[in-house]
Amino acid sequence: KEKTLAMIKPDGIAGNYTDIIKKTILDSGFSITQEMLFELNEETVRSFYAEHATKSFFPDLVQYMSSGPVLIMVLEKVNAIADWRALIGPTDANNAKITQPNSIRAMCGLDLQRNCIHGSDSPQSADKEIMFFFNKASSDFFVTTEVYGPDISFLVIALG
């Protein structure tokens, strides 16, 4: 079996898509072997998306990905990496709605940037990204509390 890294991005969490995305993951034959709710600071996002550092959209991407909590999961299945990329659909959620209406980005993404979900794009990226989030020392983490209105609060692990 193969492992890949999935992440529900801030717009996906804020839009309450967590449960439907997790159901889709399980219904598609993946198991979720690890998961953690993180709040990423800008430095962590810059490091995670370092391959895009020279792109014009990078500052917007850093701002977006640090704008709220993200749910990071390790997914396991035969051919997990390619199958997960296929299931999330194309980068641009507007394009996904036309060309791959059953994809996760078609279901919950908003546009080219706010596309609600991440997937590792190769075996090398999957290894690197799983290490990035799950091979940390406990001293790299601190716990914050996110509050979403008067009655809803939950713990978030922040990195940085």
Catalytic residues: 118
DSSP 62: H
Handedness of CA 93, 94, 99, 102 (dihedral sign): positive
Is 115 annotated among the ligand-binding residues? yes
Strands 31-40 and 153-159: what pairing?
Answer: parallel
Among positions 84-123, residues that touch Mg ion (CB under 5 A) are 121
Minimum separation from the CB atom of position 60 to ligand GTP (A): 5
Strand, coil or helix: 93: helix
Minimum separation from the CB atom of position 103 to ligand GTP (A): 11
Q: Which is nearer to ligand GTP, 45 or 157 (CB)?
A: 45
Minimum separation from the CB atom of position 51 to Mg ion (A): 8
Q: Which is nearer to ligand GTP, 118 or 157 (CB)?
A: 118
User: What, of ligand GTP, Mg ion, none, does residue 61 touch, CB below 5 to 8 Å by kind?
Assistant: ligand GTP
Minimum separation from the CB atom of position 2 to Mg ion (A): 17
Q: Which is nearer to ligand GTP, 56 or 145 (CB)?
A: 56
Is 91 annotated among the ligand-binding residues? yes
Is 85 annotated among the ligand-binding residues? yes
Length of the chain measured in residues: 160
Is 48 annotated among the ligand-binding residues? no
61 and 44 Cβ atoms separated by less than 8 Å:
no
E strands in the chain: 2-8, 31-40, 70-77, 117-119, 141-147, 153-159
Which residues lie closer than 8 Å to 131 by C-beta, 6 or more apart?
A: none
Among positions 119-158, residues that touch Mg ion (CB under 5 A) are 121
H/E stretch holding 135? none
Q: Which amino acids are annotated as binding site for ATP, given as ranges?
A: 9, 57, 85, 91, 105, 115
**Interface residue list for Mg ion (CB under 5 A):** 121
